A and B are shown apart, each in its own frame.
Chain A
Amino acid sequence: MTHPIDLLSAFLDDELSSQEHSMVTSHLESCATCSSDLAGLARVRDWVRALPDQEPPVPLVPSLRRSPRWIWAAASAAAAVLAIGLVVSPAEPAPFDLDTLAGQHTARVVVAPGISSIRGPVGGP
């Protein structure tokens, strides 16, 4: 006897041709093994079909206006790396010398003979 084992799930789902369906039906009438297999497969199918429907955690249509979580995670990670980089490796400050800086912003003016020079901001009083 050839057992139509591979057809049993499709038999349950009514996905067999009429010829195959008739063949499996008549086989089941005389085969306890296949009947038992069919009952086991039906149990599993019923369990899966009875799994509780899960509620989406966000409203479906408004959710499209948000980016997937991983995009926000990636953006946050990039921002964190940038911030850490700024803290750990700040840009090297340029050498700073007050006299040099003042020299760039002052004009040397001879006011009167005997007074060598005074310093003041360019355009200042």
Chain B
Amino acid sequence: MPDSIPTWEEVARDHGRRIYNFAYRLTGNPDDASDLMQEVLLRVRRGLAGYTPGSFEGWLWRITRNAFLDEVRRRKRRPTVAFPDDDRTAIGSVPEPGEVLAESRLPEHLQQALLALPFDFREAVVMCDVVGLTYDEIADATGVPVGTVRSRIHRGRKMLRGMLE
């Protein structure tokens, strides 16, 4: 993305699909992912007026994670519709270590394992391996040092390996 202010239509067209996939991998639910994507794009539309050219990726993904965390907080007040987060994981549905994973079911098992990760690790792994952000961009989006990002990605992958192998 060049250092100019894009229109929200451009953001939706160029980034909407990545935002949706980020949201889908964090929530594991297409409806929640769709709502989150729309919320992010609405926030982008409102926020573009105040955006100063710079790290667009950091700005966009900061908005995205804030929208996700706001929704987590909103649903914690209404616990019957909780998002998966640190306190509510789907560990029960993760295959036992060593289970032979049929190739066709790997994505499903992997999604369940992602949902079982604590949020900070899941977010870092998804930002890195699904969205394709660099460690610097993840640090910018999440507001933590690059060393913390490095650690979260590494520990997240180790946990996934422990659950899946």
Q: Which residues of A contact B (CB under 8 A)?
A: 6-10, 13, 15, 40-41, 43-45, 47-49, 51-58, 60-61, 63-64, 66, 68-70
Q: Which residues of B contact A7 (CB under 8 A)?
A: 150
Q: For the complex, would chain B's binding face be called helix, strand, loop or mixed by DSSP majority?
A: helix
- Give A45 to B126 CA distance when docked, in angstroms: 10
Q: Which residues of A contact B54 (CB under 8 A)?
A: none
26 CB-based A-B contacts, threshold 8 Å: A6-B151, A9-B150, A9-B153, A10-B135, A13-B153, A15-B134, A15-B150, A40-B161, A41-B161, A44-B160, A47-B110, A48-B129, A51-B110, A53-B17, A54-B30, A54-B33, A57-B30, A60-B16, A60-B17, A60-B41, A64-B8, A64-B42, A68-B35, A68-B38, A69-B31, A69-B35
B158 within 8 A of A: yes
Q: Which residues of A contact B72 (CB under 8 A)?
A: none
Q: Which residues of B contact A49 (CB under 8 A)?
A: 129-130
Whether B160 lies near A48 (C-beta < 8 A) is: yes
A15-B164 in contact given A54-B30, A61-B12, A68-B38 (Cβ < 8 Å): no
Chain A: CB-nearest residue to B10? A61
Whether B38 lies near A66 (C-beta < 8 A) is: yes
Chain B residues 127-141 with CB under 8 Å of chain A are 128-130, 134-135
Chain B residues 71-96 with CB under 8 Å of chain A are none
Chain B interface bracket (under 10, 10 to 19, 20 to 34, 35 or more): 35 or more
Q: A51-B110, A53-B21 are in contact. List 12 more A-B contacts (CB 8 A).
A: A9-B154, A13-B128, A13-B135, A44-B164, A48-B130, A54-B30, A56-B16, A56-B20, A60-B17, A63-B34, A64-B8, A64-B12
Q: How far is the CB of A92 from chain B (nearest CB, A)?
A: 34
Q: Which residues of A contact B33 (CB under 8 A)?
A: 54, 56
Whether B25 lies near A51 (C-beta < 8 A) is: yes
Whether A8 lies near B154 (C-beta < 8 A) is: yes
Q: Which residues of A contact B42 (CB under 8 A)?
A: 64
Whether B39 lies near A41 (C-beta < 8 A) is: no
B107 within 8 A of A: yes
Q: How far is the CB of A81 from chain B (nearest CB, A)?
A: 16
Whether A58 lies near B34 (C-beta < 8 A) is: yes
Q: Which residues of B contact A58 (CB under 8 A)?
A: 34, 38
Q: Which residues of B contact A66 (CB under 8 A)?
A: 38
Chain B residues 12-53 with CB under 8 Å of chain A are 12-13, 16-17, 20-21, 24-25, 30-31, 33-35, 37-39, 41-42, 45
Q: Which residues of B contact A56 (CB under 8 A)?
A: 16-17, 20, 33-34, 37
